[in-house]
């Protein structure tokens, strides 16, 4: 049994190393380690591939993440929801929102269940119409959104110049039993700034302490930018 135990131990070591590369966004090294495993008579498992995809996601390598996901089936390693989430997140960060949506729709087809992370990752593509649709889909499928879900949706509205919808989403967070974060408010303030609503931007900034939130540099910068756009330099000062 000893050789088998050694092989199992060595595989765990490789997986730990690939995971460490993922956390450090060292995607080239992660892929190198993954490629080395067969050379030392180790078979990469789901954890190996998921960690490598996560490294690609952090390194902005969405094409490589998709290549790894596709290769898993060829090598008879069954992807799980974590595998799909890593690929979806990679596509979202690479602004490949159509591909992210396609992967999300693939999850039930392979008899897996999408979770919060699946939807949050798909929303990160920055398309506000898509974000709202995904929020509706979550309700239909009884996937409970979290604050990150709403932050992603608000950020999408900010990018799409939809300040009214951003404010609607922000105001809806407590009704879901959730607590808005500094990120939630900063995104909403920025959305108001892009919509030339400097008074609303300042109002949101002023209301943060009452919500037990401490405005950070991002919050203040968003409010200052809103005032600059509205030519309200006195308030910016």
Task: Kindly report the pTM of this predicted structure.
Answer: 0.81
Residue 118 CB partners (closer than 8 Å, separation 6+) = 81, 84, 85, 88, 104, 107, 143
Dihedral angle, C-alpha 150, 152, 155, 159, nearest 10 °: -130
User: Given a cut of 70, is residue 234 above it in pLDDT?
Assistant: no
Please tell me the predicted confidence (pLDDT) of residue 1. 42
The residue among 125, 172, 122, 180 whose CA lies nearest residue 151 is 180
Mean pLDDT of 136-165: 93
Segment 184-191 shows an average pLDDT of 95
Confidence of residue 172 (pLDDT cuts 50, 70, 90): very high
Mean local confidence (pLDDT), 124-145:
88
């Amino acid at each position: 049994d000893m050789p088998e135990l050694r092989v199992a131990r060595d595989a765990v070591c490789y997986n730990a190393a690939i995971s460490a590369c993922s956390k450090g966004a060292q995607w080239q090294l992660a892929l190198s380690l993954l490629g080395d495993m067969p050379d030392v008579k180790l078979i990469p498992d789901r954890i190996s591939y998921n960690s490598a995809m996560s490294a690609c996601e952090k390194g902005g390598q969405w094409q490589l993440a998709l290549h790894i996901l596709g290769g898993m089936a060829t090598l008879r390693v069954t992807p799980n929801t974590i595998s799909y989430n890593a690929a979806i997140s990679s596509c979202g960060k690479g602004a490949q929102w159509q591909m992210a949506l396609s992967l999300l729709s693939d999850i039930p087809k392979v008899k897996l269940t999408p979770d919060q992370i699946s939807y949050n990752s798909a929303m990160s593509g920055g398309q506000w119409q898509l974000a709202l649709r995904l929020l509706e889909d979550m309700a239909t499928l009884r996937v409970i959104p979290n604050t990150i879900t709403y932050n992603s949706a608000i950020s999408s509205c900010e990018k799409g110049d939809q300040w009214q919808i951003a404010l609607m989403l922000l105001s809806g967070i407590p009704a879901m039993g959730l607590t808005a974060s500094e990120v939630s408010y900063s995104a909403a303030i920025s959305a108001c700034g892009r919509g030339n609503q400097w008074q609303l931007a300042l109002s949101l900034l002023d209301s943060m302490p009452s919500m037990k939130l401490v405005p950070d540099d991002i919050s203040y910068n968003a409010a200052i930018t809103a005032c600059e756009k509205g030519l309200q330099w006195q308030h910016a000062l």
